[in-house]
Amino acid sequence: MSFKNLHLHEDILKAIEDAGYTEPTAIQKEAIPQVIEGKDLLASAQTGSGKTGAFILPALHKLTVPSPVKGHGPRILILVPTRELAMQVAEQAMKYSKYLPKMKTACIYGGAPYPIQIRQLTRPLDILVATPGRLI
């Protein structure tokens, strides 16, 4: 099975190809179609198994459809427990969305200067990756 079989947006497929991935992992094969269909999902898998791609790829696919509601806030909020994971998830979101026009991701977490992160939040963005403490 290839990523094309998962019916992701062509610009996302191009970014996946650029990243050097040819086949989805087991968790991605199972999760991506479910998320695209709008189903809730609870999944568990080993470190390095592609979990981040399993939720980021279908989320980006959904963002390719313009929102009927006008707004300035993020359309997706991803909460993670640590700053390291926040940076990793944001990096993956940016990597897979690089061919999606105007797709913006911001990452906020503790231990970083407030002014820089506040500036990120004042700009229009689609995805916000955050740790709970800094988000609050």
Tell me the C-alpha distance between 46 and 114, whole Å: 34
Model pLDDT, residue 35: 93
Which of these ranges, 49-58, 68-77, 96-105, 109-118, has the smallest mean pLDDT?
A: 68-77
Hey, what are 11's tokens? Answer: 């610009």
pLDDT per residue over 8-37, tens digit each?
999 999 999 999 999 999 999 999 999 999
Average pLDDT estimate for 56-76? 89
Model pLDDT, residue 43: 87
pLDDT per residue over 79-136, tens digit each?
999 999 999 999 999 999 999 988 999 999 999 999 999 999 998 899 999 999 999 9
Q: Tell me if 63 sits within 8 A of 100, measured CB to CB.
A: yes
Which of these ranges, 39-43, 68-72, 98-102, has the smallest mean pLDDT?
A: 68-72
Dihedral Cα 124, 125, 129, 132, nearest 10 deg: 30
